């Protein structure tokens, strides 16, 4: 047991060095970034970045649920455009996607973050990556250390061999990757990989990265 605890602390130490290296690169690329160690720190930083009563929305993300950020967004502190609200029609969800462009803040995760300070994302509908690129005054990206990769090539590999198949499986899509466990560059009508984006040097003071020294999401 003691050896396991020691190994875990060593892994956290290695991860923290990798996180800090990545944070430095992100800051050089106009994305203010923070190391987050606890749930309390995460919520406090969120409240620091986004004022009460702000209009907010979010992209599809397991990380937001796993970190309980979704609970915070639904706490009543914000005017939330909630695409998961019970009883919404497809047209109403579409309107939320569109209205999200006018939000004060947009919460999301990312498929990968390179140590060179880039965000790599692949989207199905395009609403998430579109809002990351333009529209909301602020974009709050919340991600676990597992999303950090060396470079864009590793980011592409991460999505093709892990994130995309896992998400397709979660969404019960009838795509080849839900059988093979890796991208087959399919032509399935249920394909979830349609829009590919790299954010390298965005407009300053718009994208904020909150990196956690734990694994979250796909």
Q: Would you list the domain boundaries of the chain?
A: 2-151+194-212
Q: How confident is the model at residue 2 (pLDDT cuts 50, 70, 90)?
A: very low
Write the CB contacts of 205 (distance below 8 Å, at least 6 apart in sequence): 30, 32
3-state secondary structure of 104: coil
Q: How far is CA 164 from the centre of its chain?
A: 13
Which residue in 139, 120, 130, 119 sits closest to 206, CA to CA? 139
Q: How confident is the model at residue 1 (pLDDT cuts 50, 70, 90)?
A: very low
Superfamily of domain 2-151+194-212: NagB/RpiA/CoA transferase-like (3.40.50.10420)
Which residue in 95, 100, 88 sits closest to 56, CA to CA? 100
pLDDT in tens, 99-125: 999 999 999 999 999 999 999 999 999
User: pLDDT at position 11, please?
Assistant: 87
Neighbouring-strand partners of residue 209: 33, 141
pLDDT, average across residues 23-48: 97
Q: How confident is the model at residue 9 (pLDDT cuts 50, 70, 90)?
A: confident
pLDDT, average across residues 26-45: 97
Q: What's the rounded Cα separation, in Å, for the pair 34 and 107?
A: 15
Residue with tokens 């060396």: 150
Average pLDDT, the chain: 94
Regarding pTM above 0.85, the answer is yes
DSSP codes joined into one string, 64-99: HHHTTHHHHHTSSSSEE--TT-TT--HHHHHHHHHH
The token pair that represents 150 in the structure block? 């060396």
Q: pLDDT above 70 covers what percent of the chain?
A: 97
pLDDT in tens, 82-95: 999 999 999 999 99
Which residue in 169, 196, 165 sits closest to 182, CA to CA? 165
Helix intervals (H) in the chain: 2-28, 39-49, 62-66, 69-73, 90-99, 127-133, 152-158, 164-170, 177-180
Q: How confident is the model at residue 130 (pLDDT cuts 50, 70, 90)?
A: very high
């Amino acid at each position: 047991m003691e050896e396991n605890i020691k190994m875990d602390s060593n892994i956290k130490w290695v991860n923290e060095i990798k996180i800090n290296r990545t944070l430095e690169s992100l800051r050089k690329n106009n994305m203010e970034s923070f190391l987050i160690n606890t749930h309390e720190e995460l919520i406090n930083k969120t409240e620091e970045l986004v004022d009460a009563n702000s209009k907010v929305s979010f992209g599809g993300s397991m990380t937001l649920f796993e970190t309980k950020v979704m609970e915070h967004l639904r706490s009543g502190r914000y005017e939330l455009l909630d695409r998961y609200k019970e009883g919404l029609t497809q047209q109403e969800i579409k309107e939320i996607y569109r209205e999200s462009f006018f939000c004060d803040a947009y919460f999301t995760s990312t498929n990968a973050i390179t140590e060179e300070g880039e965000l790599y994302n692949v989207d199905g509908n395009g609403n998430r990556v579109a809002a990351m690129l333009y529209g909301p005054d602020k974009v709050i990206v919340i991600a676990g250390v597992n999303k950090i990769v060396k470079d864009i090539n590793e980011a592409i590999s991460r999505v093709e061999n892990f994130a995309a198949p896992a998400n397709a499986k979660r969404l019960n899509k009838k795509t080849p990757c839900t059988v093979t466990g890796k991208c087959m560059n399919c032509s399935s009508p249920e394909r979830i990989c349609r829009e590919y984006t790299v954010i390298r040097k965005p407009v300053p003071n718009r994208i904020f990265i909150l990196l956690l020294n734990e694994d979250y999401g796909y």
